[in-house]
Structure 1
């Protein structure tokens, strides 16, 4: 009886121990399930985060490449703008040079045209209009006389009087032609030239000097009589001229 009673008392306790182990096991399994679920959730979150981070890295890399390409394009554009600016400045300089060249060309053309056009000339107290060819030939002949080249001077002045018989240079050209002939010792030619000047232009300022030069040419030809008549003409026609003063001295030397 005592043994039976002891057994009866021990059964609830054993049953209680078994219940506690089952609950603990369930609790452990549940905890494991929750931990696993949390691990899976965390892994998924980490995977998503990694994926997002990778995407962001890729986007950043793409953005960096885009920025680099944009920067390269900007540098190219800057270079092109600088080149265009340089080309524009060069173009402006070229245009300015062309404009100045055109202006100079026009000015040169106008100058040449003015030189070719007949112009008013003042010579020996007289004014007249002469062509550029007349002016150039007369000036070259006078320069030749100054240089002692009487042959060239005589030829140039002779050509001038032949080509332009009515030239305004006529009296002055004859005066210097006579001097050139005298310089080259063509006294006979000088006599004729000086006589033509006085006959055609008795009121010309060079007429008194022409008569004096004529008398000197006649004296060089040993024609003293003609020289004295010429000096008498000078003293009678132009008594107040400087040539008349020199003529008096020359006349005295011929006596």
Structure 2
């Protein structure tokens, strides 16, 4: 029996050891599986994170490109605005210069005529000079019309005495002696000290001579010599008085 017991004890001990080994192997395998799964999950998580990071980088790059495009567009718009502002400033400058020029057309100018200085509107100056140019061209009837219109349009003008003088001369040239006398007398009444006054008085006498009014002509010439003794017209008046006698 002792032998029998010994014969059974060995297998029992071996069986026990095999079971423990198997458990250890199973536990080791479970641990390895667990570690593998954990590693896999970690790898999956790492892959997901890398994919997410790549997507984030791609999104960031897309945003950067969009910002660059927007910046380029804004730069272009800014340059266009700068060009428009420059063009607007140029136009404003042109408009301001045009306004200044138009205003200057209405600003009085200083005139020196027949020994007198006065202020006149540009249009007034232009109209007088135009009428005088017509007279000097020998178109006396047209000149008379132009000076008559000027006197009516600019009744307070500093040109008035000179306009009356040239109107009278235009009428004398067209043999309208009575109207010429009236305008020469208007000059003498309005501006007796005017540089053209002695000539106007002499012209009155000439008109009276043409009208055969010798007595009136003689009186006019005598008044001329007495009023303007040092004038060239007075010298001419003395000669005419000598011939009238």
Band of TM-score, shorter chain: 0.5 to 0.7
Q: Who is 1:140 aligned against?
A: 127
User: Are 2:200 and 1:207 aligned?
Assistant: no
Could you tell me which of 81, 105, 109 is aligned with 1:90? 81
Could you tell me which of 41, 52, 58 is aligned with 1:62? 52
User: Are 2:186 and 1:196 aligned?
Assistant: yes
Whether contact under 8 Å (1:142, 1:176) holds in the other structure is no
RMSD: 5.5
Q: Who is 1:108 aligned against?
A: 99
- Which secondary structure state, in structure 1, belongs to the residue aligned with residue 166 of structure 2? helix
Gaps of at least 5 residues in structure 2 are none
Which region of structure 1 is more displaced relative to structure 2, 171-180 or 88-97?
A: 88-97
Alignment of 1:207-226 (within 5 A): 207-214=197-204, 221=210
Q: Relative to structure 1, is the Cα distance of residues 198 and 64 closer, same or farther in structure 2, using a 3 angstrom cutoff?
A: same
Q: Who is 1:162 aligned against?
A: 152
Measured after TM superposition, the shift of residue 175 of structure 1 is 1.6
Q: Relative to structure 1, is the Cα distance of residues 171 and 76 closer, same or farther in structure 2, using a 3 angstrom cutoff?
A: same
Alignment of 1:36-55 (within 5 A): 38=28, 40-55=30-45
User: Are 2:162 and 1:178 aligned?
Assistant: no
Measured after TM superposition, the shift of residue 204 of structure 1 is 0.8
Whether contact under 8 Å (1:175, 1:193) holds in the other structure is yes
Alignment of 1:16-35 (within 5 A): 30=21
Measured after TM superposition, the shift of residue 191 of structure 1 is 4.1
- Higher-Rg member (1/2): 1
Gaps of at least 5 residues in structure 1 are 1-10
Measured after TM superposition, the shift of residue 84 of structure 1 is 5.7
Measured after TM superposition, the shift of residue 174 of structure 1 is 0.6
Take 2:63 and 2:222, find their aligned partners in 1: how far apart are those partners?
104
TM-score in terms of structure 2 length: 0.58
